[in-house]
Structure 1
Amino acid sequence: MNPEILEMLRKKSQPKSWEKLNNRFKADILDYIDGEPVYKFHSFLTDSLEVNAHSISVTVQPCSSYIPYHQHNYAEMMIPLLGSCCTIDANGRRIALDQEDIMIMGKDETHSVEELDAGVIVVNIALRNTAFPANDLNFMLDAGMNQSVSGLLFSLLSGDRDFGAKYCVFKTGHDRKIISLIYDVIDEYYNGDVHSNQIIHFDLLGIFARLIRHAYKEADSFEGGGRGEDGRNILKMLLYIEKNYADITLNGMAKKFGFNPNYLSSYLKKRTGLTFIQLVHLQRINVAAGYLADTSVSVDQIAAKVGYENPSYFYKVFKKNMRCLPNEYRKRMHDSQS
């Protein structure tokens, strides 16, 4: 917590009238929910209600102010730095954020925000698709572990709809390094200096990487909103597979989640398009690929480490997933790095 920055933000969080905001936004009405209009936001506004053309924008949410249902054509991070807040999705579901939680809302997702109590400070960081070149976000997909969380985060930030993500919520647990980076982004944005844009850019990438790490270590700290209402359950299951891939069994996982094994198998297939064993193979092969690229450990040892007692079977599964044999993959990776 940075008292100096919080005081600056408090001064910027004074109530604002929606009519005045909308005169600046010039938002279109897309639809109605229970008689309430749903607006489409196309631009960023600064705290002083000027249009901001930059790819990254930081603003403070006004307290005691009406915020209607809306969509925007950019991704947005919502972070309550002091106190708590609540977002409402298109189905009327309340998504509560505690102090220093981080919510990332995808573009074109309908939501509203409940009026903030006086003294609550919530920062919004808006991110256009142009905020990060694709190469900057590729680390989220290249990682051999934690693909469910990193894939959803990539989807939200890049605008790639294939992952089906609507939003994700990270319970940071007041992680000192994550919160420090957030305050640094705010400081650089409002008190700009030489290379502030570059520092903000790298701070945000650091935040994303640390959020992925935090979610991997603390499965309950992450909630993903996918196309169904059970996004949280499926994410927990995928994280469980990612952590226990080497010795996981369907019966063991079913017992962990209180499901019948046959029901769990059908549930995973319906929600992900992949069977339980396909999900396990995918995780094992991704991890094995990392070992092949980054170590000189023998293929047989790698096979055993990721959960394959029979090296021949490992070769077969690896080729099916990667379109080449393990030694060929290792050579290709080493050649690309030389």
Structure 2
Amino acid sequence: MNKKEVYHFLKRLTPRELYFKESMIDKIEDNSNQFDIYRTFNGENVYRYTFEKHLGNFMEKDPQISKNLENSPLLICKHNRFSYTPLHSHDFIELNYVYTGSLQININGQTVTLCKGDLCILDTDVIHQILNTTENDILVNILMKKEYFTTNMLSRLASNSIISQFIVNSISEAQNYDQYIIFNTQESEQLFDAFNGLIACYFDKSFYSTDVINAYMIIIFSELLKSYKKEKSMELRKANHHYIGDVLQFIEEHYGDCSLSDVAAKFSFNTSYLSRYIKSSTGKSFVAIVQEIRLNHACALLKNSNYSIEYISQQVGYNNVTFFYQKFKETYQLTPNEFRKLNTT
């Protein structure tokens, strides 16, 4: 399957969807024979979905994909149309992407509408249900073990970027507080293309590749970071405020020679106010942020180039090589030369 065939693959009615469509009555995805049920304080019955049982169902329906999914931390499926789910929660992270159409999700008693291109990440233990869908409402579900979402995705995205680090932390905090987060990504062609690539690879047994799937997931989360930053920036600009993400982005782009006064002038801040604003928003001082960015870039150059230590020191903004060695050793407990030897083959 190639990317151009994905829409027709998703649009095609499955036997289950045909059954729901032809019955002409509301159909609930009844999982009572598979999942445990618990009762809320309000007396509502809630199904407890588990990743392992979903994995078992996937493998039972299609034994040919067992070798691909047996130890998989990630499952991808299309939500059955012409139906709704019961109230349920789960022990995994769920990512819902509206491929076409629109739909409503009841989350913790509140109804949220998602349109084509919208994406919702639901944390574990969130009580929710997807309401009735029609033939045009195609929803792609990605089920992820908690450790896959936190260690494999977010940590890799944030490893070499202050702004990505900050946004990842913001998203994590928002999700931990609200238990879900919605991304309005209708205008992201890159995200749509990444989903097409992900689905094409995942559902084509002959081309299934864990490495390729992980690469597409990194692209997807990178696009979500961009969307989150853009939305937060626009919200604060409307309120005549500056978003700390814009400040961090400027520092990251000018880390080699920018000063606190340069950044203050760019955003029309008093330097003392800016210093406090950065500290309160990130937990780090301006100097610490600049140093972290410089050392991150130094590490990348040490890993991926043959430049001399002196040249790298100057490139990342340290004119005093001795000071660069000192800061590098304090941060990584290794000299630049030792770091290079450990990280190159």
Task: Compute the TM-score of the two structures, normalised by the length of structure 2.
Answer: 0.65
1:5 equivalent in structure 2: 9
**Alpha-carbon distance, 1:125 to partner:** 1.8
The number of aligned residues is: 312
1:82 equivalent in structure 2: 100
**Alpha-carbon distance, 1:285 to partner:** 0.8
- Judge conservation of contact 1:10–1:121 (CA < 8 Å) in 2: no
**Alpha-carbon distance, 1:327 to partner:** 2.9
2:293 equivalent in structure 1: 283
Residue 218 of structure 2 is aligned with which of 206, 209, 214? 209
- Cα distance in 2 for partners of 1:261, 1:38 equals 53
- Judge conservation of contact 2:195–2:220 (CA < 8 Å) in 1: no
For residues 302-317 of structure 1, what are the structure 2 equivalents within 5 Å? 302-317=312-327
Q: CA RMSD in A?
A: 4.9
Q: Is residue 122 of structure 1 aligned with residue 139 of structure 2? A: yes
Residue 173 of structure 1 is aligned with which of 188, 194, 205? 188
**Alpha-carbon distance, 1:77 to partner:** 2.3
Q: Which moved more, 1:272-281 or 1:102-111?
A: 102-111
1:184 equivalent in structure 2: 200
- Cα distance in 2 for partners of 1:219, 1:248 equals 26
2:89 equivalent in structure 1: 71
Quickly say closer, same or farther: Cα 1:286–1:69, change in 2 above 3 A: farther
How many percent identity over aligned positions?
23
- Judge conservation of contact 2:103–2:114 (CA < 8 Å) in 1: yes
| Residue segments in structure 1 that go unaligned for 5+ positions in a row | 224-232
2:116 equivalent in structure 1: 99
Structure of larger gyration radius: 2
1:230 equivalent in structure 2: none
- Judge conservation of contact 1:137–1:154 (CA < 8 Å) in 2: no
- Cα distance in 2 for partners of 1:58, 1:266 equals 44
- Cα distance in 2 for partners of 1:89, 1:255 equals 44
**Alpha-carbon distance, 1:252 to partner:** 5.1
| Residue segments in structure 2 that go unaligned for 5+ positions in a row | 62-68, 233-242
State the SS of the aligned residue for 2:189: coil
- Cα distance in 1 for partners of 2:254, 2:228 equals 13
Quickly say closer, same or farther: Cα 1:148–1:139, change in 2 above 3 A: closer
- Cα distance in 1 for partners of 2:322, 2:307 equals 17
- Cα distance in 1 for partners of 2:327, 2:158 equals 20
Quickly say closer, same or farther: Cα 1:217–1:25, change in 2 above 3 A: closer
C-alpha distance after superposition, 1:252-298 (max 9, x if no partner): 55566676654554444344432233222212211111111221212
**Alpha-carbon distance, 1:84 to partner:** 3.7
Quickly say closer, same or farther: Cα 1:3–1:168, change in 2 above 3 A: closer
Task: Compute the TM-score of the two structures, normalised by the length of structure 1.
Answer: 0.66
- Judge conservation of contact 2:328–2:334 (CA < 8 Å) in 1: yes
1:246 equivalent in structure 2: 256
1:226 equivalent in structure 2: none
- Judge conservation of contact 2:153–2:221 (CA < 8 Å) in 1: no
C-alpha distance after superposition, 1:121-163 (max 9, x if no partner): 001021235879x78987546556764279669989xxxx9xx
Quickly say closer, same or farther: Cα 1:216–1:124, change in 2 above 3 A: closer
**Alpha-carbon distance, 1:325 to partner:** 2.8
**Alpha-carbon distance, 1:93 to partner:** 9.0
